[in-house]
Amino acid sequence: MFLPEDMTDHKETDKNPAKLVAVCFLEGISYMRKIQVEELKPGMRFDKPVYIDSNNIFIGANITIKEEDIKKLMKWGVSDIETAGKLIATKEEIIQYVKRAEESSAFDSRKIISSYNNLLKNRKRLIEIHRKACKAVGDVYSAIKNSEPFMPDDLELSLSEIIDLMKDNHNIFLFLYGLDEGKNYLMFHSVNVTFYALLIGFGLKYPPAKLRELGLGTLLIDAGMAKIPVYITHKQSTLTEQEFNLIKTHPIHGYRSLRELGKIKESVANITLQHHEQFDGTGYPRGLKGNMISEYARIASIADSYEAQIVNRSYKKKQLFYHAMKHLISLGSNKFDPVILRVFMSKMSVYPIGSIVALNDKSVGIVIGSAPDKPLRPIIKLIFDANKKRFEETKIVSLPDEPSFFITKVLDEKEAGINLLEVF
C-alpha cells in the first residue's frame, strides 16, 4: 500500500487509511509511495509528478487533479498511482478531505453475499453442464475434422443450459477454475470462453436471441483448429513461423466449415472468422479495424484473451485472475473495443471473483463479489486471520462497509497457502 513503514506509529489513526493519508501528506513525507485511486479527491495537487506506473505519467507536478482525471483512472481499472511528491493543500482542506472520506456511503453487501451462497449451491450443476457442452463441441470438431456435415442441436441444448444457469448466477464462472480439461483443451477453452462472452452479453443487456447467437459462435470459436495438423496444435515447443502461419488460418477454416458443414448463419460464423481481429487493425486474418469487426467478435476476442491467460499451457504458466485482468486493461483500447472492455471490467471487477487478497490487518481471503461502482473494494470471504490461523466459521468482510480495511496485495495459491478449490 501507499503508507510508508514509519507511519505505522500513528496509533489513533492506524485504523483509518484516510486519516493516515492525511497525516502522511501533512508531514510531507517525500519518497515514492503508492496511493490508492479511491483515496484521490478532486482538487488535490502534488509538488512532484504522479505516475500510473514506471512508464506512464498521470499528472505533472503542481497540476490540480480533476474529477474527470480520477474517473479516467477508475474507468481503466488503475488501482493505485505513485508519487514522490507532497500533497499541496491547507490543513483545512485536508481536514475536510478526511471528513468526506469518513462519510463514505453505506453499502448493502447482503445481496452480494446471498448471491455467493447461491453460487455455491450451483457448483455441481455447472460441472455437469460444462462437461456436456465440451462433449457437444468435441462432436462438432470431429465432424469438421472429417469434413462431415453436422447439426448443432446438442450445442444449442448446452447453450440453453449455460444461459439458464448464468441468468441467475452471473459469477458462476468462478467454478470454471480447477475443472479438469481432459485431453483436449480446445473444447474446454471454447466452453470457458462462452461463459465470459455471455457475461459481457448480459452486461450489454442482450435479449435471449442475441445471447444465443453469441454463445453459439463462441462455442465454435476455434472450430477451424480441427483442420490444423495435430502435430502443430499439440506441439510442446515454440512454433516455427511456418507453423504459426498455419495456425493463423484457423479462423478461415472455421468460418468455411461452419457455413458449409453446419449451415450456421453468417452472424455466428463471423465470430469464428473474426475472433483474432484486433480493434487497432493488427489482428488476423484480414486486419479489420474498430467497428468493421462484428460486435460479437469484439466480445469474443476479450473473452478469448482473458481465458487464455488464466489457464496453464505447455508453453506458459497460468496467471492470477487479477494479473490477467490488468494485462487486458493494459492492452486496452489498442487491441479491444474500449466500451466492451469496460463492460467486462464492470462485471469482473479489478479483483475478479476468486482472487486471493491480503488485507492491511494481514488477514487473507478470497474475493466473492463486488459492486460495479466499487471495483477496488470487493467483498471478501476471510480464510486466515492475521496470525495465519484459519477461520472456523464463515467470516465475510465487505470493504465498502469497512473503510478501515483495504487490500494490500494479491497472492497466488502457493503464497497464501490456500487451495482455491477447497475454500469456495
Closest of 376, 88, 337 to residue 203, by C-alpha: 337
Segments of 289-389 assigned E as strands: 356-359, 364-369, 379-384
CA atoms within 13 A on the CB side of 410: 18
Residue 358's beta-bridge partner residues? Answer: 364, 409
Cβ nearer to Fe ion, comparing 80 with 222: 222
In whole angstroms, the minimum distance from the beta carbon of 275 to Fe ion comes to 6
In whole angstroms, the minimum distance from the beta carbon of 250 to Fe ion comes to 6
Cβ nearer to Fe ion, comparing 38 with 222: 222
DSSP state of 222: T
Closest of 218, 237, 178 to residue 305, by C-alpha: 218
Hunting for cell 462497509 — which residue is that? 401
Cβ nearer to Fe ion, comparing 39 with 277: 277
What angle separates helix 123-145 from helix 250-261, to the nearest 10 degrees? Answer: 90
Cβ nearer to Fe ion, comparing 221 with 366: 221
Cα R_g (the chain), whole angstroms: 24
In whole angstroms, the minimum distance from the beta carbon of 297 to Fe ion comes to 11
What angle separates helix 123-145 from helix 208-219, to the nearest 10 degrees? Answer: 60
* Assigned C-alpha cell, 362: 494481514
Closest-by-Cβ residue to Fe ion is 222
In whole angstroms, the minimum distance from the beta carbon of 276 to Fe ion comes to 6
Closest of 96, 93, 98 to residue 15, by C-alpha: 98
DSSP state of 12: G
Cβ nearer to Fe ion, comparing 126 with 226: 226
In whole angstroms, the minimum distance from the beta carbon of 285 to Fe ion comes to 11
DSSP string computed for 71-121: HHHHHTT--EEEESPPB---HHHHHHHHHHHHTPPP---HHHHHHHHHHHH
In whole angstroms, the minimum distance from the beta carbon of 222 to Fe ion comes to 5
Scanning 310-349, the segments in alpha helix (DSSP H) are 321-335, 338-348
**Residue 143, SS3 per DSSP:** helix
Q: Is 80 in the site for Fe ion (CB under 5 A)?
A: no
In whole angstroms, the minimum distance from the beta carbon of 128 to Fe ion comes to 26
Cβ nearer to Fe ion, comparing 98 with 221: 221
* Assigned C-alpha cell, 9: 506509529
How many whole angstroms separate alpha carbon 385 and alpha carbon 203?
A: 35
In whole angstroms, the minimum distance from the beta carbon of 131 to Fe ion comes to 22
Cβ nearer to Fe ion, comparing 283 with 400: 283
Residue 359's beta-bridge partner residues? Answer: 407
Cβ nearer to Fe ion, comparing 251 with 354: 251
Cβ nearer to Fe ion, comparing 250 with 347: 250
How many whole angstroms separate alpha carbon 135 and alpha carbon 284?
A: 28
> Residues in contact with Fe ion, total (CB under 5 A)?
1
Residues in the chain: 424
Cβ nearer to Fe ion, comparing 77 with 138: 138
The binding track of 212-251 with respect to Fe ion, each residue x by CB under 5 A or -, is ----------x-----------------------------
In whole angstroms, the minimum distance from the beta carbon of 249 to Fe ion comes to 11
Cβ nearer to Fe ion, comparing 222 with 277: 222
The binding track of 163-182 with respect to Fe ion, each residue x by CB under 5 A or -, is --------------------
**Residue 411, SS3 per DSSP:** strand
8 Å CB contact between 197 and 143: no
Question: What DSSP element (H or E) covers 34?
Answer: strand 33-36
Q: What are phi and psi of 281, to 5 degrees?
A: 90, 10
In whole angstroms, the minimum distance from the beta carbon of 258 to Fe ion comes to 13
In whole angstroms, the minimum distance from the beta carbon of 18 to Fe ion comes to 46
Binding site for Fe ion (CB under 5 A): 222
